[in-house]
Chain A
Amino acid sequence: MDRIPILKMGSALLVTIQVDMQDRLAMALEEDLTTRIAQTGARGVLIDISSLEIVDSFIGRMLDSIAAVSRLLDARTVVVGMRPAVAITLVELGLTLTGVATALDVERGMALLGERIAGAEGFDAGDIL
């Protein structure tokens, strides 16, 4: 079975979702990602959906659940590159993805992750001191 490639970028994992992902691919992604987070100790996950022409409730739920599971493994998820037409449609569908952080592109997503990771680490350090 095909797998969606997961790349490591510093302390983050980057996933680029290809056009019209099939359901079983989406399900495998969730599993693969959690395994990789645990293996690598990644602190962040970037999911690039810029090639997705639509996001329906199935994909929306997958994004939400990846974000929730990653959080439990101490990694933050940022979904990047949502197309404007997809955003408009998602809101009308009623899916606002409240549990998922978003950024316009990979660069901004990395910046956002950097802030969060740094912020969290600063907080931890303060706790120890």
Chain B
Amino acid sequence: MPVTSSDTMEIRTSDDIVRVRQKVRDLAVGIGLGLVDQTKIVTAASEIARNTLDYGGGGTARVEVIEEGFRRGVRVTFEDEGPGIADVTRAMQDGFTTGGGLGLGLSGAKRLSNEFSIQSAVGVGTRIMIARWKSG
């Protein structure tokens, strides 16, 4: 899949989460995503970025514009080398949390995205991809 723009950003502090949000917003505006779609992908990115920081011990976010045929989208891939997730299926359920949260980040981010994938291995780390296409 062609990638027309790609930036890799560090996630080390909560200020970095703000920067990732802004970058995702800029690209979403750039490809002409509507306001609701922008808000959805930025919110999803914020959730996963926070998990990367809080549970993954920090990591990176690769923020890209992708193309497929005539459509364009924004894709964000988060990677960390933290403890990993032992049971991904459970972690994806609404309400599952080990951090005293609401357990909505992963499941919510999936609902807010058109594409979502997660790979995680205990002791190795976690990679999560979210994307939203410009519809029509």
Contact = CB atoms under 8 A, between A and B. Distances in A.
The list of the 9 closest CB pairs from A to B, nearest first, reads A93-B108, A23-B14, A85-B39, A56-B46, A94-B104, A85-B36, A89-B39, A54-B43, A85-B35
A85 B38 CA distance: 9
A95 B14 contact: no
Contacts of B112: 89, 92-93
Q: What is the interface of chain A mostly: helix, strand, loop, or mixed?
A: helix
Contacts, number: 68
Contacts of A15: none
A85 B14 CA distance: 24
Interface string A86-124: 101100111100000000000000000000000000000
Contacts of B14: 22-24
Interface residues of B, dominant DSSP:
helix
Contacts of A95: 102, 104, 108
B81 interface: no
B22 interface: yes
Nearest to A60: B102
Given A22-B14, A54-B21, A85-B36, A94 B47 contact: no
Interface of A: 20, 22-24, 53-58, 60-61, 83, 85-86, 88-89, 92-95
Given A57-B102, A57-B105, A94-B111, A88 B36 contact: yes
A35 to B, nearest CB: 23
Interface of B: 14-15, 17-18, 21-22, 25, 35-36, 38-40, 42-43, 46-47, 50, 94, 101-102, 104-105, 107-109, 111-112
A93 B22 contact: no
Contacts of A22: 14-15, 18
Nearest to B111: A92
Contacts of B46: 54, 56, 58
Given A93-B104, A94-B104, 5 more contacts: A23-B17, A83-B39, A93-B109, A94-B111, A95-B102
Q: Which of A60, A92, A95 has the most CB of B within 10 A?
A: A92
Contact of A20 (B18, B36, B47): B18
Nearest to A95: B104
B47 A57 contact: yes
Contact of B43 (A20, A23, A61, A93): A93
